[in-house]
Amino acid sequence: MQVFVAEKSFEGCGGIRVTDEIKVTVAALACLLILHRPGDYYPHLSSIVIYPDEYVGQRQRWDEGGVVTEGPEPRVGESWELGTVVLSWKDVVLDAQSPDDGFNVVFHEFAHQLDHEDRLTDYDGFLPNEPEQSPWREILEQEYRRLIDDDEAGRWTFLDPYGAESPAEFFAVATESFFEMPGELKARHPGLYKLLRSYYRQDPAVWE
C-alpha cells in the first residue's frame, strides 16, 4: 500500500484537497484486489483524480444504425485505459462504510484497470481464448448472457444489472460482488465465483 501511494499521483478536482486519508483509503481498497497477485501495483496506472462528489462526464451512445451521439452524464467514477482512475470521494466513503452491499466504486474502477492490464475483455466479448483458458471465457460468456436475458425480461438479478452494459462492465460488477458479497455470489453463481477466486487468488467467502 505504501508503494502504491508513493508511485501514484493523486489529483484533486472540484475544490477538494487530497489528504492522507483519501490516499490511504483508496490505496487500501485498490490493493485488496491485487493482494495475492504477482507483479507490480497497477503498472499502467499513473494518476488518480478525486472529485468531492458526483461529477459530470461525457458519454458516447450508439444507436441501432451505428450513429454516435455524445452527451453529459453524472458519474461517481471512471477508469481510463491510458492510466487514470477518477473517483467521487463521497461515494468512496459511502461504499467503504457499507462493505457488504455489493457496490464499491473503487473495486469497480480498479477492476477495469486490471481488465486493461490483462486484456480480459473488449466491447464484443471476453478475450482469453487459449485452450487452457477456455473455461474462463465460457463461464464469463454464459454468466454475462444470463444477466442480459434476466435484465431484458425484467427479472431480479443478484448481480448489478449495469453489468449487462458490456463485457467490461460485467467483469467490474462481478468483482464488486466477489469482494462485497462473496458467500451469496458463491451460492448463486458458483462457477463465476470459482473463476474469480482463481483470478484474484483469494477466497473471500471464508472471511464471512
CATH number assigned to the domain comprising residue 203: 3.40.390.10
Instruction: Quote the mean pLDDT of the chain.
Output: 91
Question: Looking at residue 13, what is its pLDDT?
Answer: 97
The number of angstroms, rounded, from the C-alpha of 174 to the middle of its chain's C-alpha atoms is 8
Together in a domain, 17 and 91: yes
Q: What is the pLDDT of residue 135?
A: 80
- Residue type at 96 in one-letter notation: A
Give every residue of the chain whose pLDDT is below 50, as ranges. 129
Residue 51 burial (10 A CB sphere; 0-12, 13-18, 19+): buried
Q: Which helix (H) or strand (E) holds 57?
A: strand 55-62
Q: Domain of residue 91: give its range.
A: 1-99
Report pLDDT for 39. Answer: 80
94 and 127 in a single domain? The answer is no
The verdict on 124 and 208 lying in the same domain is yes
CATH code, 77? 1.10.472
Residue 10 maps to a domain? yes
